[in-house]
Amino acid sequence: MALRLTAHRGAGEGPNPTGRRLLLVLVAGLLLSGTGAVWLERGDGPAKAAVDDPLASARGAATTTTTAAAGTEVPQSQPVVPPRDAYAPEPVQEIGVIEIPKIGLRHRVFHGITMRNIDLGPSHWPGTALPGENGNTVFMGHRVTKTHPFRRIHELVPGDEVRFDIAGVQTTYVVTGSRIVTPKQLEITLPTPTPTATLFACHPPGSARQRYVVTLALLK
């Protein structure tokens, strides 16, 4: 389901708190409806083997679990814990578009933490900030499977732009750096005090041994 808001701002304008709050409410509502809360609980089954699974080996590494129940609010300040099953039940939610001119990428983006969303395109990690919000907005994607949107993220260097159009709200980030981490280094998803973004995918291409991480800052 694609979300649509009337709020709109250019890359050079400041954050739009009202539009963002509304978007957060809409996303939270989707998570709490129907089966949307299922994937917020860690399952007991084994994760499906996947060479290009950016969450493989990370499941179970975090020390806390975020859960949702009817009548409660889904926390937005902390990233949710990945379920053990890479294909755990999760609603498919298309929320906008990502564009990276340096590598010729323009792709639909989704909201979810399982392969049900990631297989379709870069997916926003639930519980992290949305683009333009204070905090760390985290997107994960494939490098060699499906539409392999993040195949060339290793080519990004400081100063390169990454643009988001989420529910009609446009933001632009600039690359500040990159690094390679292990699958268990989930600190890359943690909140930040300023508007930042994190893109990551399996590394090297075709292997799930490590993660290639690109960090960004919101362009004022």
Number of Cβ atoms within 10 Å of the Cβ of 158: 12
Q: How far is CA 111 from CA 31, 153, 163, 210, in A?
A: 10, 20, 16, 23
pLDDT tens by residue, 56-72:
655 544 433 333 333 33
pLDDT at 59: 56
| Main-chain phi, psi angles of 197, to 5 degrees | -140, 150
The radius of gyration computed from the CA coordinates of the chain, to the nearest angstrom, equals: 16
d(CA 2, CA 92): 10
pLDDT at 205: 93
Name the β-bridge partners of 111: 124
Q: Quick one: average pLDDT of 99-125? A: 97
Name the β-bridge partners of 105: 100
What is the overall mean pLDDT for the chain? 77
pLDDT at 54: 75
151 closest CA partner among 89, 210, 203, 91: 203
Sorted by where each begins, the domain ranges of the chain are 17-41+49-218
Is the per-residue pLDDT at 49 higher than 80?
no
d(CA 33, CA 30): 5
Name the β-bridge partners of 176: none
CATH class of the 17-41+49-218 domain in this structure: mainly beta
**Beta-strand pair 105-111/123-124:** parallel
